[in-house]
Amino acid sequence: MKAAEASEMMDVDSQGEEGFKRSAAIIIGILAMLLAITGLGAANASKEMTNANIEASNTWAFYQAKTVRQTVLRVAADEIDMVLKRDGDLPEPARQMMQRRLDRYWQTIERYDSEPDTGEGRKELMAKARTLEAQRDHARKQDPYFDYAEALFQIAIVLASVSIVASSRLLLTFATGLGGVAALLTINGFFLFADLPFLG
């Protein structure tokens, strides 16, 4: 082999090595970008889960408070009703006053049950709490996909970096495959196309 031919082969080999390193660097950059997007999705799902859970708990607490007030008013209304039915010789002004109070109690009891204007009736609060629970549950389903995707992206980045040092195309291919799986998990985390039971 002549020196010129050897030099050309070394140049081609060197160019191939440089091309491999450049490709690996680009893949690492893409994996890092996708890892950042996945991290953002994970953070948003976590915040959504926490916030919806807190709001649902607060809404159920308000619902319970309305229920307690409604029960107290029902007991008071029942007592007034018993007095009105039992005491036939009650003076008329007292009877009228008690009847007005009884009517007011029943109006309040009905208002506590449903207040479409304010959204603070028991029916509206129950619907709101269930909606918030559904949001929480949706975010809870998203979370594991992001978690596993983040882990796979990090492993893929490390393997792709090692492939440069080891000059291993096989390792880079494996890292790219892991990145592809992580990308699919990220997409599924955002849109929940498939429900993978082993990730639930």
Residue 39 lies in a domain: yes
Higher pLDDT, 72 or 9: 72
Average confidence (pLDDT) over 49-71: 97
Residue 59 lies in a domain: yes
Residue 131 lies in a domain: yes
Contact 170, 130 (CB under 8 A): no
Residue 144 lies in a domain: yes
The first and second tokens of residue 92, run together, are 């008329």
Spatial CB neighbours of 42, under 8 Å, sequence gap ≥ 6: 143, 146, 147, 150, 189
Based on the structure, what is the number of domains in the chain? 1
Report the pLDDT value the prediction gives residue 198, as an integer from 0 to 100.
79
Answer whether residue 1 shows pLDDT above 60: no
Residue 4 lies in a domain: no
Confidence of residue 89 (pLDDT cuts 50, 70, 90): confident
Residue 75 lies in a domain: yes
Residue 97 lies in a domain: yes
Using a pLDDT cut of 90, give the percent of the chain over it: 85
Confidence of residue 199 (pLDDT cuts 50, 70, 90): confident
Report the pLDDT value the prediction gives residue 9, as an integer from 0 to 100.
46
Q: pLDDT by residue (tens digit) across 102-121?
A: 999 999 999 999 999 999 99
The first and second tokens of residue 46, run together, are 């976590």
Q: pLDDT by residue (tens digit) across 152-178?
A: 999 999 999 999 999 999 999 999 999
Average confidence (pLDDT) over 43-55: 98
Residue type, 180: G
What residue numbers bound the domain in which 192 lies? 24-199
Residue 141 lies in a domain: yes
Q: pLDDT by residue (tens digit) across 5-30?
A: 544 544 545 677 899 999 999 999 99
